[in-house]
Amino acid sequence: MARPTYRNHRNNPYLLDDLVVTTHRTMAGVLWRFRTETLTTAVLGLVSWQLTDAITWAGTLAVLIPLIACALIFPPPRRFLTRRAWCVLSRHRLQRVCYETRLHTRSGRLPLVLRIYPTEVGEQALIWCRAGICFEDFEAHTGEIAAACYAREARVERSRRWAQLITVNIVRRDTLAPHHVIVSGLILHPPRNRQGRPGPDTGITA
């Protein structure tokens, strides 16, 4: 559990000064943030245009609909798409939680999510901290990050070489947790002593 720190906005003596900061959004930053959606839309549009040019719209739909259905039905492609969708969602949620918790510079620049990819337990994001932001800032807001990403918990790791690079691990599931928990019969039927009264909690009868 992260200890209270002056970097937490709740302990910031210059809170009113931070409230007037406006976030800067440039065209390059917007394109970088929505790079997955932009690239996917461009590829789908190009493929549809090429198929429509070669065959009719009916033929294009006859080709694309079965491909989409197979991707949603079979486990391997469905798992691939689901994990990539969670990565896209987590990237946007990380940007949002940085804005809401004021994890940005005085000039209003948000940290840059360089890369995010799926893991066995969730997602892992590599974040570039701009001047004025550091590892301790993210460490103080792990609870907000986990809640914003709809995750079980969030863990922040520091780069061993570069101080401006941090790794945010978003944990959604526990791979070591049992899928079926067998409830002990002692809980449902507590033991009784010789007088017929319930025995102690230890389960040892008199």
Is residue 8 scored above 80 in pLDDT? Answer: no
Read out DSSP for 94-143? HHHHHHHTT-S-TT-PPPEEEEEEE-SSEEEEEEEPPTT--HHHHHTTHH
3-class secondary-structure state, position 43? helix
> Where along the chain do its domains lie?
27-171
Q: Which residue has the higher pLDDT, 195 or 115?
A: 115
pLDDT band at 204 (very low <50, low <70, confident <90, very high): very low
Considering the chain, what is the average pLDDT of its residues?
79
In angstroms, what CA-CA distances link 45 with 23, 41, 52, 87, 161? 32, 6, 10, 22, 41
Is residue 108 scored above 90 in pLDDT? Answer: no
| Beta-carbon contacts of residue 131 (< 8 Å; ≥ 6 apart) | 105
Find the mean pLDDT for residues 52-78: 80
Is residue 22 scored above 60 in pLDDT? Answer: no
pLDDT in the model for residue 206 = 44
Fold of 27-171: Threonyl-tRNA Synthetase; Chain A, domain 2 (3.30.980)
